[in-house]
């Protein structure tokens, strides 16, 4: 089967639509002899005449009528595809796929998702809950359009832009209120049951690295899968936990959680917005990124 030459079929289509070689040439912005030559090539390839030429123009043969039904349908599909692309750019429909951890979804992403849905109700939103390393892996696989990650995080195939800052702090339930006065050394944490996120998360690595800088290896009694679980366990007196302060201000204000100051406070970090390097973003993704706060325009290290 020879390769399809769309230019030949465009000439055929407009000759059939207009019934005239000259009018087809005007539509295609080429000369009439060029249209005639193109039709001759198409007829030679298909092995038969497609038009009957007359003084008043051209008329389709039986073979031409058959071919036109298929060609007209094909060009209608092309036109429909162009319209759909335009609608996508105007956000009349489409989809955005976002990856983020549970805590980031609840405490950072949710209000922006609600705002986006109000602005663009036709766009389908898909959120996949994963840890930061898993989110970056999904991004590289093309399974998501963007990821919301805990910093520090880095990947050679991803552009990671710093967004909102966040500060980790040590908390306990009312049972540990007596620790809220004098700052506690990291070394002293070995005397208390410690609750931490599972190994492999960026938050856990950040905390472990900070403690190791002071010669301390954190030994959690319980490892949990989400920061909300850490806060709930701490509220119920099961130990001390590191949480992001802004996410639990209500519990801290109500006294359900008590912040325990540290002699060696955890350095601040941030939330990152990850996109795949060198890959054009869809219009839906661009509009969502415009809603997110950006601390700076530089790539986060």
- Across 153-246, the runs of DSSP E, i.e. the strands, are 158-166, 168-172, 194-197, 222-224, 240-244
For position 71, which CATH number holds? 1.10.10.10
- Decide which of 89, 118, 142 is a domain's last residue: 89
**Does residue 244 fall inside a structural domain?**
yes
- Whether residue 186 sits in one domain with residue 103: no
Q: In whole angstroms, give the CA distance from residue 21 to residue 59.
A: 11
| Token pair in block for residue 281 | 């973003």
**Does residue 299 fall inside a structural domain?**
no
Output the pLDDT for position 301. Answer: 40
Range of the domain at 85: 6-89
Output the pLDDT for position 176. Answer: 95
**Does residue 301 fall inside a structural domain?**
no
**Does residue 66 fall inside a structural domain?**
yes
Average pLDDT per 10 consecutive residues for the chain, totaling 301 residues = 82 94 94 94 93 90 94 87 78 88 93 95 93 92 92 89 94 95 94 94 94 96 94 96 96 97 96 91 91 61 40
- Whether residue 177 sits in one domain with residue 258: yes
Contacts of 190 (CB under 8 A, 6+ apart): 219
For position 287, which CATH number holds? 3.40.190.10
Nearest to 246 by CA among 224, 273, 274, 268: 268
Output the pLDDT for position 295. Answer: 55
- Whether residue 70 sits in one domain with residue 112: no
- Whether residue 205 sits in one domain with residue 69: no
Output the pLDDT for position 32. Answer: 94
| Token pair in block for residue 33 | 């002899």
Question: What distance separates the 2 farthest-apart alpha carbons in the chain?
Answer: 104
- Whether residue 282 sits in one domain with residue 160: yes
| Token pair in block for residue 149 | 């990650």
Q: In whole angstroms, give the CA distance from residue 256 to residue 241.
A: 13
**Does residue 32 fall inside a structural domain?**
yes
- Whether residue 74 sits in one domain with residue 55: yes
- Decide which of 61, 89, 117 is a domain's last residue: 89
Nearest to 230 by CA among 274, 205, 194: 194
- Whether residue 203 sits in one domain with residue 124: no
Into how many domains does the chain fold? Answer: 3
Output the pLDDT for position 2. Answer: 61
């Amino acid at each position: 089967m020879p390769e399809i030459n769309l230019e030949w079929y465009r000439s055929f289509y407009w000759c059939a639509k207009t019934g005239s070689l000259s009018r087809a040439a005007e539509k295609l912005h080429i000369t009439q002899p060029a249209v005639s030559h193109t039709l001759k090539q198409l007829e030679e390839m298909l092995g038969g005449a497609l038009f009957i030429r007359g003084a008043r123009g051209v008329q389709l043969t039986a073979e031409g009528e058959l071919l036109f039904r298929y060609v007209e349908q094909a060009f209608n599909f092309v036109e429909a595809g162009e319209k759909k692309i335009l609608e996508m750019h105007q956000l009349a429909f489409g989809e955005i796929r976002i990856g983020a951890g549970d805590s980031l979804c609840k405490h950072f992403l949710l209000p922006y998702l609600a705002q986006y849905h109000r602005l663009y109700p036709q766009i389908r939103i898909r959120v996949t809950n994963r840890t930061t390393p898993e989110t970056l892996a999904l991004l590289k696989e093309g399974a998501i359009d963007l990821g919301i990650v805990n910093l520090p995080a880095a990947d050679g195939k991803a552009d990671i832009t710093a967004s909102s800052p966040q500060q980790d702090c040590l908390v306990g339930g009312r049972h540990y209120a007596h620790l809220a006065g004098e700052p506690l050394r990291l070394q002293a944490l070995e005397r208390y049951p410690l609750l931490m996120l599972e190994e492999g998360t960026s938050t856990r690595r950040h905390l472990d690295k900070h403690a190791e800088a002071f010669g301390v290896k954190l030994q959690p009694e319980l490892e949990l899968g989400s920061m909300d679980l850490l806060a709930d366990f701490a509220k119920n007196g099961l130990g001390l936990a590191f949480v992001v302060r802004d996410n639990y201000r209500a519990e801290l204000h109500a006294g359900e959680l008590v912040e325990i100051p540290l002699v060696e406070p955890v350095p601040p970090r941030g939330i990152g917005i990850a996109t795949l390097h060198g890959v054009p973003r869809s219009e839906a993704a661009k509009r969502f990124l415009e809603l997110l706060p950006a601390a700076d325009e530089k790539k986060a290290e």
